Amino acid sequence: MSAFLEFDQVSHAYSQQTVVDTMSFTLVEGEIGCLLGSSGCGKTTVLRCLAGFEPIRAGSIRLAGQTLSLPGHQVPAHARQIGMVFQDYALFPHLTVGDNVAFGLRRWSRAERLRRVASLLDLVGLAGLARSYPHELSGGQQQRVALARALAPRPRLLLLDEPFSNLDVDLRSRLSAEVRAILKQENTTAILVTHDQHEAFAMADRVGVMQAGRLLQWAAPYTLYHQPASRFVADFIGQGVFLPGVVTGPACIETEIGEFCGAVPVPFDVGQRVEVLLRPDDVQHDDASSRKAVVESKVFRGSEFHYTLALPSGRRVLAEVPSHHDHPVGEPIGIRLEMDHLIAFPAH
Ligand SMILES: Nc1ncnc2c1ncn2[C@@H]1O[C@H](COP(=O)(O)OP(=O)(O)OP(=O)(O)O)[C@@H](O)[C@H]1O
């Protein structure tokens, strides 16, 4: 499928400080992308470039075949047909919910406007609240109104900047799943910015990990987790530890807990020293295994325990173990690695 949004080799700088550094990514129509990264890495600046608030220094931004930004040329923000949702909702306090949603529809006929507002309030689960005022709603409801208002004029692209960060954890995860369903129903192409990877994984079709203005990887969440392109991405996404090893064959690595062979060749020469990524779900508890590790600490998560286990060398690995396997701290337990592919990086 051809790209609907093309962010191509874009750079941006605030005076001399480069904040977005030759970044490229694409989305097809209806896809949801997410930029993930720690504070200050440039996520919001990317959104501001997309929205038309910041000129770009290099590269180009194209949407639906139209060039929006080039160095020295940009389509003004109001002419881009791009919608925005921010963390602080930014609703008009003196307007009702219905009038907030209708705000961008002033050029529509009254009948069309009423129909669109009713259908959006229905879509975001707020039918019946059209006459309420923002202060009468909960934070989650206000954010739904903000979403409905942004979607009302059928934007070509929706930008969501940390939209759930003012909400509590439970509501965040519920709303991120709901918002994804709403965007899919409207076939809206969207870019979300967050530093919460659970939110990124719950909402997005493509996730990009940013570091210091650079996009390190742009991929489906599953690929990011299972095939991180760099040690930074592997460390940033999910939990895990790196265990030293030596390459012993095209797809095999020997570590202190044995030799592991994956289904896919590793890009290293035999004899090279590497570090293998072990996710908690790669390490299985197995009473029958002769490989032992000592329970150093554990956290009860309801359906499973999250164990930190010490290997004979003193190195630690993490393991997720079903919660009926309740072993005390200090006890050696059998472990087995279950990985269909090995993720390894050159040793430091
Ligand atoms: N208007 C501005 N003028 C100068 N520097 C700025 C401006 N806006 C942002 N910056 C700087 O650009 C860098 C990237 O900021 P940006 O807001 O894009 O990061 P972010 O990844 O969205 O961070 P956060 O997650 O904290 O919102 C930071 O070093 C920031 O201080």
Please name which of 217, 103, 115, 207 lies closest in space to residue 150, comparing C-alpha atoms. Answer: 103
Element (H, E) at 13: strand 5-14
Give the contacts of 157 (CB within 8 A, at least 6 positions apart): 5, 50, 63, 80, 81, 82, 83, 188, 189, 190, 191
Q: How many helices (H) and strands (E) does the chain have?
A: 8, 21
Query: Which of 38, 44, 57, 199 to mutate to test ligand 1, by most ligand atoms within 8 A of the CB atom?
Result: 44
* Residue 289 and residue 193 share a domain: no
Domain of residue 163, CATH code: 3.40.50.300
Question: Is the predicted ipTM greater than 0.85, yes or no?
Answer: yes
Q: Give the atom of ligand 1 at the shortest distance from the alpha carbon of 15.
A: 4
Whole-angstrom distance, CA of residue 151 vs CA of residue 84: 9
3-class SS of residue 267: coil
Our answer on whether the CB atom of 42 is closer than 6 Å to any ligand 1 atom is yes
Domain identity same for 227 and 251: no
**Ligand 1: residue whose CA is nearest its atom 6:** 14
Q: Do 331 and 250 belong to one domain?
A: yes
Six-digit token string for 191: 């870019």
Query: Measuring CA to CA, which residue among 258, 228, 232, 263 is closest to residue 243?
Result: 258
| Number of independent structural domains in the chain | 2
| Mutation choice for ligand 1 from 19, 86, 215, CB with most ligand atoms inside 8 A | 19
For ligand 1, atom 13, name the residue with the nearest CA. Answer: 40
Query: How much is the pLDDT for 274?
Result: 95
Q: How confident is the model at residue 348 (pLDDT cuts 50, 70, 90)?
A: confident
Single out the residue in 234, 261, 286 at which a domain terminates: 234
CA–CA gap between residue 79 and residue 108 (Å, rounded): 17
Q: Is 177 found in the same domain as 303?
A: no
Say yes or no: 68 and 106 in one domain: yes
pLDDT in tens, 120-143: 998 888 888 999 999 999 888 998
Measuring from atom 16 of ligand 1, which residue has the nearest CA?
Answer: 42
User: Separation of 143 CA from ligand 1 center, angstroms?
Assistant: 24
Both 41 and 10 in one domain: the answer is yes
Which of the four pLDDT bands, split at 50, 70 and 90, describes residue 28? very high
Q: Are residues 80 and 108 in the same domain?
A: yes
Confidence (pLDDT) at 137: 93
What CATH number has the domain bearing residue 262? Answer: 2.40.50.140
Distance of CA 147 to the CA centre of its chain: 19
Q: Are residues 262 and 219 located together in one domain of the fold?
A: no
Alpha-carbon span 17 to 87, nearest angstrom: 26
Q: Which two tokens mark 280?
A: 């908690």
What is the predicted pLDDT for the residue at 5? 98
Separation CA 306–CA 238 (nearest Å): 13
What does the pLDDT look like over 49-61, one tens digit per residue? 999 999 999 999 9
pLDDT at 301 (0 to 100):
85
Mean per-residue pLDDT of the chain: 91
Q: Is 189 in the pocket of ligand 1 (CB under 6 A)?
A: no
Mean pLDDT of 292-307: 91
Q: Per the structure block, which two tokens stand in for 161?
A: 């900047």
Contact 217, 231 (CB under 8 A): no
Ligand 1 centroid vs 213 CA: distance in angstroms?
10
- In the prediction, which pLDDT does 167 show? 75
Closest CA to ligand 1's atom 8: 45
Residue 171 pLDDT grade (very low, low, confident, very high; cuts 50, 70, 90): confident
What is the distance, to the nearest Å, from the Cα of residue 258 to the centroid of all Cα atoms in its chain?
34
Q: Is 78 in the pocket of ligand 1 (CB under 6 A)?
A: no
End position of a domain, from candidates 234, 265, 295: 234
Residue 325 bridge partners (DSSP): none
Same domain, yes or no, for 253 and 214? no
Task: Name 83's bridge partners.
Answer: 158
What H or E segment, with its residue span, contains residue 175? helix 169-186
Nearest residue (CA) to ligand 1, atom 10: 14
Same domain for 266 and 223:
no
AA identity, residue 99: D
Among 214, 234, 254, which residue terminates a domain? 234
* 190 and 75 part of one domain: yes
Residue range(s) defining the domain that contains residue 110: 5-234
Same domain, 204 and 322: no
pTM over 0.90: no
